[in-house]
Amino acid sequence: MTTTPQAVRRPSPRPRRRAAPPDPARALLPAAEPVRMLDEDGHRLPEQPDQPEPDAGTLREMYRRMVIGRRFDTQATALTKQGRLAVYPSARGQEACQVGAVLALRDNDWVFPTYRESMALVSRGIDPVEVLTLLRGDWHCGYDPGARRTAPQCTPLATQTIHAAGLAYGEARQGRDTVALAFIGDGATSEGDFHEGVNFAAVFRAPVVFFVQNNRYAISVPLSRQTAAPALAYKGIGYGVPSEQVDGNDPLAVLAVLGRAVAHARAGNGPYLVEAHTYRMEPHTNADDAGRYRDDAEVEAWTGRDPIARLETYLRAGGVLDDAAVAGIAAEAEALAADLRTRMQAEPQVHPLSLFDHVFAEPTSQLREQREMVRAELAAEEEA
């Protein structure tokens, strides 16, 4: 009797694995570590192909402005002790961020500063006395924002991010290649206005750079109590905004990263978020006691990362700076400080009727009525 052999079962072919789709968030991710081009002693680190080095002339000008900016900052701090300023928030230690942001922009671009950006405004060419007018209490803003393309310094946290996004969107709608740069502190990234501004800019592809100066403390609150994110730069990803983090005390890296961010926005690619890791050497303001929440060892450690010293070392090694040039820049800074002292000693002459100026572009009937009442009272006092 013969038997029919049973069919041999062959294993089913394994299904082919489909290639994983590209991760859309990868292009938005910042570097795992802050971008650096100089070490803490001012020596050049290995080349980073995607971070072109700024030219020598720009770096020399950055050094000049940082030295002048620090001297201005020191003088403004002294003016508070003399009663000439009501308050002053120092930016000493953040010179690379303050000056680098201004140098990355064109004259027709807009700046949206916080209360700590006095040094940046001086670097932008605004009269130092006009910059300090707000902090002396004479005006809400001492310069013409439209003429200087610089918004008034903003004291409420993060409200300037919405203003920057709106202006940038409006400029783009009118066919202009204007870029807006909004300065932001680390504490401001916890405010709702920050998230609204970034989200609006992303959705409408507004050409704005959100520049976060992470100086480690929101007044006395350390960064670890503000966020659990690996870095503040990651906050852009959730809104579809490309981001980068940079050593904020490395002048070369700050210029390179901000230059790329501004070019990205100007090319019509939408907003960009940059986080600079830096440190506020002075208290939050002259009214703050920083010793309550940080120790001297921490401050001393950051003193060794001084952005001015790092850039000076690098430029001297390259023959861009010498003793004569350094002395000349220091003398220029001292002359500015002396002029500032002299002019700030003069008591401001403010007429009561100026209270009604610049409230509205076109005064309302109520405002005109109130102004006339004050004018009449002043006239009556003169006649008495």
pLDDT in tens, the chain (384 residues): 555 556 666 667 777 777 777 777 888 999 999 999 999 999 999 877 788 889 999 999 999 999 999 999 999 999 999 999 999 999 999 999 999 999 999 999 999 999 999 999 999 999 999 999 999 988 889 999 999 999 999 999 999 999 999 999 999 999 999 999 999 999 999 999 999 999 999 999 999 999 999 999 999 999 999 999 999 999 999 999 999 999 999 999 999 999 999 999 999 999 999 999 999 999 999 999 999 999 999 999 999 999 999 999 999 999 999 999 999 999 999 999 999 999 999 888 888 998 898 889 899 999 999 999 999 999 999 887
The confidence score (pLDDT) of residue 102 equals 98
Identify the three-state secondary structure at position 182.
Answer: strand
* Active-site residue identified among 36, 71, 284, 310: 284
Torsion angles phi and psi, residue 287, rounded to 5: -90, 0
> 60 catalytic, yes or no?
no
Q: Would you state the structure tokens that stand for residue 352, as one six-digit string? A: 């009561």
Selection from 305, 274, 264 nearest residue 34 by Cα: 274
> 293 catalytic, yes or no?
yes
The confidence score (pLDDT) of residue 8 equals 64
Q: Would you state the structure tokens that stand for residue 310, as one six-digit string? A: 């790092």
- C-alpha 323, offset from chain centre: 31
* Active-site residue identified among 92, 216, 293, 316: 293
* Active-site residue identified among 71, 136, 280, 310: 280
The confidence score (pLDDT) of residue 24 equals 77
> 284 catalytic, yes or no?
yes
CA dihedral 181, 186, 192, 195 (to 10 degrees): 50
The confidence score (pLDDT) of residue 3 equals 59
Torsion angles phi and psi, residue 35, rounded to 5: -65, 130
